[in-house]
Copies of this chain bind each other. A is one copy, B any other.
Amino acid sequence: MKQEVEIMLKSKEINPTVNRMLVLDYLLELKSSISLTDLELSLESFDRVTLYRTLKTFEERGLVHKIEDGMGITKFAICQDSCEAGMHHDLHVHFYCHSCKQTFCLPKTQIPEVKLPENYQRQEMELIVKGICSVCVK
């Protein structure tokens, strides 16, 4: 497992330090996305700034992507395989649960095509659905 994480980092040209392997390992296990603050609480061994820079590095190298959770908090999640550095293919839907405050990627739910008014040029899209997730609904 550690081996696998190390290989992932190297394949993105990221120096596999202990910190970075721990963070990546944590993110890979994670079912949803996570904010910097929550990551800090989960991995107490490292400084907030270090985690901040780790996530920033991961994002720049196309390992994770940022999600605006629709409540003003930035969260991070592992990219799909199809992502590359500087070019995220992140057109799936994100789901924010009002109950557990988690933000889930719904990779199987594509954002439908949207027609824009004339002369509007699209570059990215974000679709956030808010409600109650399948765990909290029970």
Contacts and interface: CB of A to CB of B under 8 A. Distances in A.
Interface of A: 68, 70-72, 74, 93, 95, 98, 106, 108-109, 111-134, 137-138
B116 A125 contact: no
Given A68-B70, A68-B71, A130-B126, A112 B113 contact: yes
A101 to B, nearest CB: 14
- Max chain B Cβ within 10 angstroms of own Cβ: one of A116, A117, A120, A129: A120
Nearest to A115: B109
B112 A134 contact: no
Q: Quick one: copies of this chain in the complex? A: 2
A35 B123 CA distance: 22
B74 A72 contact: yes
A95 B115 CA distance: 12
